[in-house]
Structure 1
Amino acid sequence: MNSAVWVLFGSFAVLMALGVPIAFAIGTSATLTFLLFMGVEQSVFIVAQQMASGLDSFTLLAIPFFILAGNIMNRGGIAMRLINLAKVLAGRLPGALAHCNVIANMMFGAISGSAVASAAAVGGVMAPLQDREGYDRGFSAAVNIASCPTGLLIPPSATLIVYSLITGGTSIAALFVAGYVPGILMGLGLMTVAGIIAKRRGYPVADRPSTGEVLRAVRDAILPLGLIVVIMGGIIAGIFTATEAAAAAVIYALLLALVWYREITVRDLPAIFVESAVTTAVVLLMIGASIAMSRAMAFGLIPNAISDVLLGISDNPLAILLAINITLLLVGTFMDMTPALLIFTPIFLPVTQDLGMDPVHFGIVMTFNLCIGICTPPVGSALFVGCSVGGTSIAKVIRPLIPMYLVLLTLLFVVTYVPEISLFLPRVLLGYGA
């Protein structure tokens, strides 16, 4: 390993241990790495220049728009409508409310683009219902925690937009379409585990819904789900880009929450805009700092050094992909999704390209890895939010989470080693790779 590796990652680890905010830790470690090769003034100038030029991107405009659309939908009473639809879909299965939780998280997460928002909104509604039906709180919270990241794979996904930017323009449309099958598999896998546990514990099956209840649930949920149709239909049909789709999503969400459902008023908008602006600022600061770090990595030949180490361990692609997966799973236990994506994509992408792995496939694998990470201790954000809204402790959710972790890990390796799971739909719908 060269000295740049030790300076970059060593300083980053020290700064994180001292509690420095992650964006500042990234920027500082990048500056210290440049100091190995040039003076202080030049190092600071290059970091500032990389941050500014990296954020000057039309593609990045999609992120604040999607964040704003998600916040509007979160405040617009959408969660309850999706939960009612999920009850209709899963009502006759053993442990109906557990299945309802998973399905609602898949739908709401895709609309809101946030695992934490999904865990809070869906879990906050489902926890009291499950309590009344005699569900163990640890089990209920575990189902909510494990399933809330499914919406990060099912488009639209700001995470995949960030990945596209880091990789220099991997097709956002292809990434979006590629996330459908892995995201749905993730949800179905969790429903299978939840169903087995629910049947063993004798959790109740819901009454068969009447035709009127089914029609009401579909009617109430069809417009919120229409947001996904508008975005993905427009992108796949080539009507607009991902950024234009994000702007359309904001208009759609405003019409839905402000005019149609009237769950929010004009007076609520300033608070929603401020909340969205704060979230956007945090995300974009991390992206800008990480772009500077990527430049420092390239300048210090760090990806080449790490690639040489990984390729030196084994010449077997399966073993190298296993090592990358294990590394990302470990990273996910102590680092949130966006910074992990920003830091480790430039490191591992060249390695996977040497192995002949498609960048769209790797983007899905990496996102799947980090989805698992936000559910795991000690730093998983979804874990803490899920325990809070579920009225239970981390100690009580770990045991029911273990079989869910196992099925997620199994699916991760299936998605990793079977590329067509991710690439089939982009090839059929978009002619990707043709």
Structure 2
Amino acid sequence: MTISIITSIIILLSLLILLLIGTPIAVAILISSLLGIIQSIGFNGALPASTLKVFQGINIFTLLAIPFFILAGNIMSKGGIAERLINFASVLTGKIPGSLAHTNIVANMLFGSVSGSGTAAASAMGSVLGPVQKEKGYDEDFSAAVNVSTAPTGLLIPPSTALITYALASGGTSVAALFLGGVVPGILWGISCIIVAYFIARKKGYVQTQKHSGSEILSVFIKAIPSLMLIIIIIGGIISGIFTATEASVMAVIYSVILSLFFYKTINLNELFNIFIDSAKLSAVIMFLVGTSGVLAWVMSYTQIPALLSNIMLGISENPLIILICINILLLIVGMFMDLTPAILIFTPILLPICVSLGMSPLQFGIMMTFNLSIGTITPPVGNILFVGLKISGRKLEKVLPYMVKFYVAIFVVLMLVTFIPALSEWLPSLVGYK
């Protein structure tokens, strides 16, 4: 294990130093991986080995789903779909005290799921509902906290690029099973926040409710059907075997283009071209990150670093409960400082064998890990969804954080349920034959 220890130290220290000096994370991963390879197999073999692993890491058919889902999400976020989903959510929550806050939560769950982007959900819902809540007398810091805390639900409720990334990193866990497995935990995340928002709204006196006539409810429902159909098309198509997850991502793009360009008529061809450009740029960054993470995963496997860390982790305690809590704490800390995608790619090969040895299925671990790291997107100091939500609302972190703490507690409770109750992740996939 001597080589493993030395290589681990080299990779960890170089990665930390590079990140601290502001090196882009994909470049930092590649350089630290190269240093690890040089330590393991020598300088002459390092460059060709790393180059090969970068291309092998992205030469995977399933990965095509990521840029297509990114494109579909960008089209939806700018194509008028958010407005229809907000109206639909308003109908569902109109009679609950603090109804505008609950509308925000449900709309985030719906829009996050159809777009697959928590950042897009926080931006879209904050822009539309924030001013309305302010006009109705809602505390702006509370409104910002509600929006931020529930935007990541779309990272669990399918389609989710994070779950596709985990499927790749775990060595072949079914994307369809992961999509189904994320539904219940994602909904529970939203429900836990609804409970917190309900009590805060009652305490603050936000008891006004939105009333809708029967004709208004019918009209809103009819207008929302085309947007909601996207979820049914994607999940139904995958489960029934009509198309794969990758083919589903293409269908999502086609459907969102038709919906936004011809049905809702909310974007034109020039705007569509710009959306394609922006999506291509983001996809390139993610794919390069996937490729460099493949190099890191290979060098760790070659030097048996996961086995070393597994032995260390299992040496902490023989109690599976304690080990799982330690793993969750580790992931919560990692999520505070690292983006979701690289964290999944780096820590899946390290932690998955440990959890499997404890009796946890790769499916449940994937949902637990994604849920855990999604919390990092709404926590300082790096949380991208947190700071997007703050920017949209114009609020300061120190003012919003007291409300966020209440939501953190509720979300953490759900994380513990997902960790220790396998049925929350596995029940829905098992109904359609996935194990």
What TM bracket, shorter-length normalisation? over 0.9
Distance of 2:406 and 2:259 partners within structure 1: 39
How many angstroms does 1:37 deviate by? 1.9
| 3-state secondary structure, aligned to 1:331 | helix
Structure 1 stretches (4+) deviating beyond 6 angstroms?
Answer: none
TM-score by length of 2: 0.98
AA of the residue aligned to 2:231: I
Contact 1:257 1:264 in 2 (8 A): yes
AA of the residue aligned to 2:293: S
- Structure 2 residue 195 is the aligned partner of structure 1 residue 192: yes
AA of the residue aligned to 1:70: G
Contact 2:126 2:147 in 1 (8 A): yes
Distance of 1:77 and 1:185 partners within structure 2: 27
Which residue number corresponds to residue 430 of structure 2? 427
Which residue number corresponds to residue 253 of structure 1? 256
Residue from 58, 61, 75 that aligns with 1:72: 75
- Structure 2 residue 248 is the aligned partner of structure 1 residue 233: no
How many angstroms does 1:191 deviate by? 0.3
What does residue range 30-429 of structure 1 map to in structure 2 within 5 Å?
Answer: 30-429=33-432
How many angstroms does 1:205 deviate by? 2.4
Structure 2 gaps, min length 5 = none
| 3-state secondary structure, aligned to 2:416 | helix
AA of the residue aligned to 1:78: I
AA of the residue aligned to 1:89: L
When structure 1 is superposed on structure 2, of 1-10 and 91-100 the one drifting more is: 1-10
Distance of 1:172 and 1:383 partners within structure 2: 27
AA of the residue aligned to 1:310: M
**Root mean square deviation of aligned Cα:** 0.9
AA of the residue aligned to 2:313: L
| 3-state secondary structure, aligned to 1:2 | helix
CA deviations 1:378-422 (Å, max 9, x no partner) are: 111111111111121001110001110000011100110000111
TM-score by length of 1: 0.98
CA deviations 1:6-60 (Å, max 9, x no partner) are: 0111110010011000000000110000111222231111111001011111100
Distance of 1:341 and 1:300 partners within structure 2: 20
| 3-state secondary structure, aligned to 2:395 | coil
Structure 1 gaps, min length 5 = none
AA of the residue aligned to 1:12: L
Distance of 2:168 and 2:41 partners within structure 1: 27
Contact 1:137 1:391 in 2 (8 A): no
AA of the residue aligned to 1:56: N
Distance of 2:399 and 2:231 partners within structure 1: 35
| 3-state secondary structure, aligned to 1:37 | helix
CA deviations 1:289-347 (Å, max 9, x no partner) are: 00110001111211011101100001111111101000000111111111111111111
AA of the residue aligned to 1:194: A
CA deviations 1:224-271 (Å, max 9, x no partner) are: 111111000000111110001111111111110011111111222211
Distance of 2:17 and 2:137 partners within structure 1: 47
AA of the residue aligned to 1:432: Y
Contact 1:55 1:284 in 2 (8 A): yes
